[in-house]
């Protein structure tokens, strides 16, 4: 979908992006500013922006604070019409080690956020959930939004809990919301030394000639979606009001880890030094999302095929290396 919107003719006008200096958030901020919105970024101090710098833009303002600080989040919310909630303090692989921290920082932090949102008259929350973890082991592929939810990680349970509290606050207070259950995003600006993001980590290691560690035998299948398509979906959540509030956002296709490496080898002309490790218990064998609901009700569809997105990402990484 090619998104076009005259922000001067629609509400909301002022957007708060929680986690705005992260991979998705920085791309989203750039897009919102390009579409005429006033944008407020909220993130922790000293976290560098990963995309183009909007600091000089007349419609941009930056707030620094901690998501678990109720007063700092309330201050950031004041005067805003919509909130994009992109913050997570944990990762799928680390969340099971400390579920208490996961709950206290993410679930309680979000409930405090929603309380202030109601008090301050916020119009809508757009929450990025996890299409890769909330369903657990799927009984059908592709996975529809109506599929049972049995997460294998505290991370997935937390995401699902936040979805339920959004529904509760909508029922009790009329707070509008949209949940985007996101597949595995990749693209320019993604951290290549992080502990998640297989495409980014694999691509960077192959380009640098370093060994690639693979959990399991490489047969795990995931749905990978290019960052520009993710941003289009987030923007679509602004202009479409439907009776449905939960949407899968993915490519609609699956690639195994071995297939991802095959594509990287083809693109770069380099062989991957593959090192296979024991599988992890929270990695479901296959996860591919059904995106029909988003196509029908949000007017959104992914536009960038996996290999095209991979090529754009590789070009960006090469340019970073050359600079």
Per-residue pLDDT at 14: 94
What domains does the chain contain, in order, with CATH numbers?
11-189+225-251+290-303 (3.40.50.720)
> In this predicted structure, what is the pLDDT of residue 248?
98
User: For position 102, what pLDDT does the model report?
Assistant: 94
Burial of 227 (0-12, 13-18, 19+ CB in 10 A): buried
| Spatial distance between the Cα atoms of 251 and 229, rounded to a whole number of angstroms | 9
* Separation of alpha carbons 105 and 97, rounded Å: 14
pLDDT in tens, 110-162: 999 999 999 999 999 999 999 999 999 999 999 999 999 999 999 999 999 99
For residues 136 and 226, the answer to whether their CB atoms sit within 8 Å is no
The whole-number average pLDDT for the span 43-66 is 81
| 288, 175 contact by CB (below 8 A) | no
pTM comes to 0.93
pLDDT digits (tens, 9 = 90+) for 301-322: 999 999 999 999 999 999 886 6
The catalytic position among 37, 135, 155, 226 is 155
- Rounded to whole angstroms, the Cα distance separating 197 from 214 reads 12
How far apart (Å, rounded) are the C-alpha atoms in residues 84 and 163?
Answer: 13
To the query of whether residue 177 is one of the catalytic residues in this protein, the response is no
Q: For residue range 61-97, list pLDDT tens digits in order.
A: 999 999 999 999 999 999 999 999 999 999 888 899 9
The C-alpha atoms of residue 52 and residue 26 are separated, in whole angstroms, by: 7
């Amino acid at each position: 979908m090619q998104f076009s919107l005259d922000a001067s003719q629609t509400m909301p006008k002022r957007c708060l992006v929680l986690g705005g200096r992260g991979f998705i958030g920085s791309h989203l901020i750039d897009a919102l500013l390009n579409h005429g919105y006033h944008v407020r970024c909220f993130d922790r101090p000293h976290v560098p922006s990963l995309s183009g710098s909007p600091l000089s833009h007349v419609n941009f303002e930056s707030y620094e604070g901690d998501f678990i600080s109720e007063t700092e989040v309330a201050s950031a919310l004041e005067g805003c019409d919509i909130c994009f909630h992109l913050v997570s303090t944990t990762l799928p692989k680390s969340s099971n080690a400390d579920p208490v921290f996961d709950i206290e920082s993410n679930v309680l932090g979000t409930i405090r956020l929603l309380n202030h949102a109601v008090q301050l008259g916020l119009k809508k929350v757009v929450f990025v959930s996890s299409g890769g973890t909330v369903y657990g082991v799927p009984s059908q592929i592709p996975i529809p939004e109506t599929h049972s939810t049995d997460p294998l990680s505290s991370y997935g349970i937390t995401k699902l809990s936040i979805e339920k509290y959004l529904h509760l606050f909508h029922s009790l207070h009329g707070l509008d919301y949209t949940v985007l259950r996101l597949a595995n995003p990749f693209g320019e600006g993604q951290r290549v030394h992080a502990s998640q993001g297989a495409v980014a980590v694999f691509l960077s290691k192959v380009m640098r000639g370093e060994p690639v560690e693979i959990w399991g035998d490489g047969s795990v299948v995931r749905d990978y979606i290019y960052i520009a398509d993710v941003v289009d979906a987030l923007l679509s959540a602004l202009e479409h009001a439907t009776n449905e509030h939960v949407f899968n956002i993915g490519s609609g296709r699956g690639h195994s880890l071995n297939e991802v490496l095959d594509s990287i080898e083809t693109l770069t002309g380099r062989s991957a030094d593959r090192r296979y490790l024991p599988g992890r218990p929270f990695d479901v064998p296959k996860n591919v999302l059904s995106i029909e609901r988003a196509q029908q009700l949000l007017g959104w569809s992914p536009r960038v095929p996996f290999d095209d997105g991979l090529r754009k990402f590789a070009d960006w990484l090469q340019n970073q290396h050359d600079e």
